[in-house]
Structure 1
Amino acid sequence: MSGLRGAALGLAAGALGGLLTGVAAPQGNGVEDDSAQVIVQKARKALDEAKSVRMQAQVEDAAGTTTLDLRFDVDGNCTGAVGLPGNGGHADIVKRGEDVWLKPDAKFFQSQIPGASGKDAAELINGRWIHGSTRNALLHEFSEVCDLSGFQRKYASRPASESLAKGGKATVDGAKAITVTSRSEDESSTYYVATEGKPRLLRVEGRQDGQKGKADFSDYDKPVPAGTPRPGESVDLSQLQ
């Protein structure tokens, strides 16, 4: 058996080697030779043209750390999760068109609904998804994070007083990058822009108004997963109201 296993592993390694022979290594895109202004302009353009992206972000302030892991697209579809600061709990979110599903945990309910009502709500939902429309005030508020187009517009606008300075080389999850620091009257940010493949924004981190934040961007133009919770796994919000 050990001989057969060794032969099989040898064949697999040979086949893999043959496949990799035809795969070119990532090529430098030359962005690290550009000025700070051009680097940021290219990164903004790449994000603005993205049809979909994954964003993993965290924001720290006096209340604690808010986290977000979201895959969203320009059509307003998304899937992901949000974590509230302190002991505020966690909620999964799915949005397809005008339909929104929200799955809060017990801590989330208790942090958002004061007193015994929060505990009662958690027991009533019992780990299921809350399903409704973006026309519902509660679900609309959470579904706003799915607006990639709005995020792109906000990122594309830059402060009139912005001052950019080119930094050094870095890596983001193994991807090579060049950094650029941006400073304006009330905030400072550092952009990490890919130096291989397309000059995409890989990470931005900074401070503003007592908040410290970081966001990583990946899976550019990969479709948002289309699956939605099954009817038996969710509760219609209109029935609860």
Structure 2
Amino acid sequence: MRGGRLLAGAVLSAVAASGAAACTSPSTGDTAASAAPPPSATASETPLENLPVEEVIARARVAGNTLTSLTITLSLPEYREGAVTGTFSQDSSGSCAGRYAVAGKGTTEVVRSGGKVWWKPDASALRASAPDLPASEVGKWFGGSESTTKTFASAFCNMGTALATQVGLNTDGSLGKDLAVAGTRQLDGRKVVVVTMTDENGVPVSYFIAAEGRPYLLSTESGGGKMAVQLGDFGKPVDATPPPDDQVARR
């Protein structure tokens, strides 16, 4: 279903334009993290917000690398084709399940399991992405191969881990510009440390890192609110069951 891939590709273009290009590409090596000095005993007793920004983001990346699973909720309110929202859960085995919606263009479910990807558009998404397909295709899953929709599904499914493990970094693994600790705030009842930076494309990015307990990244915003992602359900099992064969469209 080429139309579905085109719509998803357009959504990902909006993600990249919002300053999240780095988060959709798994890092090939956290050079900045490896260069950071190990936390000292004294530093471990210091409130996170009082540490140097380089140590704050290094600790967040270390915490992110311990995660076995997580869920992201994303929002792109200014996407030109309609506001985009989505929720994706992924685990360290590569399994992923979620859905995204484009305002006025329906909702699409996505499952990745065993290196294969399937996606199921609802009636509105099917009409928007592939208007020539018969109505009998509504409710069917598409895909099922390793190559089908690999780009868009992998980008959505990999986003959470990439965000959690690349705090403060550009696409190439280098540190962002103008990194700074911008105080603390409350986020859904939790105290977070706010870190700001500018990425390699000049896009402002804000990170909201748990100030107590493990310093997980809990939320991030980029492009002045053009994209927002919340992270949670750390360690929760991911149900990414492949669809039954009789529910997969044969095209």
Query: TM-score scaled by structure 2?
Result: 0.69
Question: What's the counterpart of residue 135 of structure 1?
Answer: 147
Query: Secondary structure of the residue that 2:84 maps to in structure 1?
Result: strand
Amino acid at match of 1:140: K
Q: For residues 95-144 of structure 1, give each alpha carbon's deviation from its aligned partner in whole angstroms, at most 9, with x where no partner exists.
A: 1113333110122112212xx504x2xx12232333512233xx323431
Residue of 162, 169, 179 corresponding to 1:164: 179
The verdict on how the C-alpha distance between 1:94 and 1:218 changes in structure 2, with shifts beyond 3 A counting, is same
Aligned to 2:166: 155
Range with bigger deviation, 57-66 or 196-205: 57-66
Shift of the alpha carbon at 1:235?
A: 1.9
Equivalent of 2:189 in 174, 187, 190: 174
**How big is the shift at 1:199?**
0.6
Change (3 A) 1:226 1:102: closer
Cα distance in 2 between the residues matched to 1:29 and 1:103: 48
1:213: which partner in 2?
227
Aligned-partner Cα distance in 2 for 1:68–1:149: 12
- d(CA) in 1 for partners of 2:218, 2:46: 14
Greater mean alpha carbon deviation, residues 89-98 or residues 182-191 = 182-191
SS in 1 for 2:182: strand
CA contact (8 A) 1:55 1:217 kept: yes
Residue 32 (structure 1) aligns with: 49
Higher relative contact order (CA closer than 8 Å, sequence separation 6+): 2
Q: Residue 83 of structure 1: CA displacement?
A: 1.3
Q: Which residue of 2 aligns with 1:198?
A: 214
Aligned pairs, how many?
200
1:73 maps to what in 2?
91
Alpha-carbon displacement from aligned partner over 1:28-66 (angstroms, at most 9, x marks no partner)? 983122122221221122223322211111123333322
| Alpha-carbon distance between aligned partners in 2 of 1:89 and 1:130, rounded to the nearest angstrom | 16
| One-letter code aligned to 1:52 | S
Alignment of 1:76-91 (within 5 A): 76-84=94-102, 86-91=103-108
> CA, structure 1 residues 101+222, in 2 after alignment: closer, same or farther (shift >3 Å)?
same
Once the two structures are TM-superposed, the CA of residue 202 in structure 1 deviates from its matched residue by 0.4
Q: 8 Å contact 1:169–1:178 — kept in the other structure? A: yes
Q: What is the letter of the counterpart of residue 231 of structure 2?
A: F
The letter for the 2-side match of 1:33 is N
Worse overlay, 216-225 or 149-158: 149-158
Please report the RMSD computed on the Cα atoms of aligned residues, expressed in angstroms: 2.8
Judging changes above 3 Å, is the alpha-carbon distance between structure 1 residues 111 and 126 closer, same or farther for their aligned structure 2 residues?
closer
Q: Which amino acid aligns with 1:129?
A: W
Cα distance in 1 between the residues matched to 2:191 and 2:203: 26
Letter in 1 for 2:147: R
Measure how far apart 1:164 and its partner are. Answer: 1.5
Q: Which has the larger radius of gyration?
A: 1
Q: For residue 186 of structure 1, what is the aligned residue in structure 2?
A: 202
Give secondary structure in 2 for the equivalent of 1:224. coil
Q: Which has the higher strand share?
A: 1
Q: Percent identity?
A: 25
Q: Distance in 2 between matches of 1:212 and 1:111?
A: 23
